[in-house]
Amino acid sequence: MSFKSSLTILLVVLLGSAHGQKVSDTSKGWAGIFKIGGQLQARQDLRFSSYIQGNIGYELKVNSKNTLEISTKGVMGDQIDQYDHEALALNWRRYFQSQNIGESIIFDGVYLSAKVYNAQFFSYRYEGTAQEFFQTARVFVPRIGAGLEFGRQNFGLIDFGVFAGLETGVVESGKQIHLSYNYEKEISPLFKSYARLHLPISFKKSFYQNFNAYHKPSFNRNKLLKLGIDQAFSFSKKGLFLHPKLGYEYGLGSSKFAIDAMGEGLITRAKLYDLTHFDSVAEISENAYVNQSLVFNGSVDTKLYLKNDDLQLDGFYVRGGLLLHAGSLEVKRQYWEFEKFNKLFARGGIGLQKQLFNDLLLDFQANLKLDKTAKPTFDGGLNLYWVK
């Protein structure tokens, strides 16, 4: 796909939400929203995809088009972009497309923002058990980051887009945690996608009036083309990570049944150290090795919606189907080592799917899988999609 085609798709996703209802005037007085949220993935089939992310922030209206946001974010687990903490972030946003009356702004629309953040949530070289959650074997460890975000926010509930900027950090080698280590300071370019889910809290009644006027889709449909927008890609000295998700769901007539097909890939390449624990000391190898993976998931499920009187393909559901999990994990120290796999699973599960703002979709699911050995495994989590 060409750069021009990629840019066209990005603009369609960001500009695709067009509302036609009247909003309440929020121009008078102070306005701001607290945003508390996070994401969860618990999976055993894709590398760098099981994690818990928590974030909290406050966005303050400066004038009719500009806001200032202060936030913090932490991640535990094998996220695609594993070391993605933001101990403190400042974000100045300029909204270009917001539904407003006069001088009002309701934290909704396409924006361009300037962002600076401290990526060092904890110094992972400190002694103690609490900091061990944030130890990393990555070669490049970021400290400070700055750049531009181009994205779209819908009333603080969903915020997604792309970030381009620089991170300062250290490249470390041949050391023992909390004893001694060598490092060199470096600067890394960073280009990545982001998608944040929040519970927005406001003290203005008009904010919730506007949210209620817009969050439901204005039309019904029995088919959905789904493009994953959470953890889609990240390119920097930390590594190269690409995680495409594309699906299609089709409702069977006026019934509550639907066929859901999904394809998901993961392409990664990063340099890592071997991390070994000896009692209270963690030793890291002197030389890094190359770690890369190429993974594919393909699934077909039948879904039964338990109640969807207002919208098709919306609400609580039960599902059952087949999942193909295939790929290759590759490691190079002195020589290349390959681990190839190909498994077919039968799975069943439950979930909740919600269509929002005409072109966004939240899907929370929990599944139980069985392979030919009849050994059960669990996966689940929250997925964000742009839909057409």
The domain limits of the chain are: 31-387
342, two tokens: 């190909």
Q: Rounded to an integer, what distance in angstroms lies between the CA atom of residue 71 and that of residue 55?
A: 7
5 confidence band (pLDDT: 50, 70, 90): very low
93, two tokens: 């946003």
Q: Tell me, what DSSP letter sits at residue 124?
A: T
CA distances from 164 to 117, 235, 357, 368 (A): 13, 10, 26, 38
Taking Cα atoms as reference points, which of 231, 217, 102 lies closest to residue 160? 231
CA atoms within 13 A on the CB side of 21: 15
Tell whether the model's pLDDT for residue 183 goes beyond 80: no
Q: Judge whether 346 and 386 are in contact, CB under 8 Å.
A: no
Average confidence (pLDDT) over 278-292:
73
pLDDT cut 70: percent of the chain above it: 76
Average confidence (pLDDT) over 261-271:
91
pLDDT cut 90: percent of the chain above it: 41
Q: How many degrees, rounded to 5, is the angle at CA 227 between CA 226 and CA 231?
A: 135
End-to-end, the C-alpha distance of the chain in Å comes to 20
Of residues 23 and 147, the one with the higher pLDDT is 147
Q: Tell me, what DSSP letter sits at residue 243?
A: -
Structure confidence by residue, pLDDT tens digits, 292-348: 889 999 999 999 999 866 778 999 999 999 999 999 988 888 889 888 989 999 999
Taking Cα atoms as reference points, which of 6, 72, 1, 61 lies closest to residue 37? 72
CA distances from 342 to 276, 297, 316 (A): 30, 10, 31
Tell whether the model's pLDDT for residue 182 goes beyond 70: no
Tell whether the model's pLDDT for residue 98 goes beyond 60: no
Helix (H, G, I), strand (E, B) or coil at 209: helix
CATH of domain 31-387: 2.40.160.20
Q: Rounded to an integer, what distance in angstroms lies between the CA atom of residue 318 and that of residue 316?
A: 7
88 confidence band (pLDDT: 50, 70, 90): very high
Element of type H or E holding 214: helix 205-214
CA distances from 131 to 53, 126, 136, 263 (A): 16, 7, 11, 36
230, two tokens: 């959470």
Q: Rounded to an integer, what distance in angstroms lies between the CA atom of residue 209 and that of residue 272?
A: 50
Q: Rounded to an integer, what distance in angstroms lies between the CA atom of residue 10 and that of residue 16?
A: 10
Q: Judge whether 344 and 300 are in contact, CB under 8 Å.
A: no
Q: Judge whether 167 and 138 are in contact, CB under 8 Å.
A: no
Would you call 66 exposed, middle or buried from its count of C-beta atoms within 10 A (0-12, 13-18, 19+)? middle
CA distances from 152 to 68, 102, 198, 339 (A): 15, 21, 14, 40
110 confidence band (pLDDT: 50, 70, 90): very high
Average confidence (pLDDT) over 187-214:
86
Residue 185 has a CB neighbour count (10 Å cut-off) of 9
pLDDT value of position 366: 93
Tell whether the model's pLDDT for residue 193 goes beyond 90: yes
174, two tokens: 């041949």
Tell whether the model's pLDDT for residue 180 goes beyond 70: no
Structure confidence by residue, pLDDT tens digits, 121-179: 544 433 333 333 344 567 777 889 999 999 999 988 999 999 999 999 877 655 444 44
Structure confidence by residue, pLDDT tens digits, 217-241: 877 888 999 999 988 999 998 889 8
Q: Judge whether 42 and 381 are in contact, CB under 8 Å.
A: yes
pLDDT value of position 82: 56
Q: How many degrees, rounded to 5, is the angle at CA 7 between CA 228 and CA 106?
A: 70
Q: How many degrees, rounded to 5, is the angle at CA 354 between CA 300 and CA 204?
A: 160
CA atoms within 13 A on the CB side of 223: 5
Structure confidence by residue, pLDDT tens digits, 194-207: 999 999 998 888 77
pLDDT value of position 312: 87
Of residues 385 and 375, the one with the higher pLDDT is 385
CA distances from 357 to 15, 152, 227, 307 (A): 12, 12, 15, 20
Residues 6+ apart with CB under 8 A from 3: none
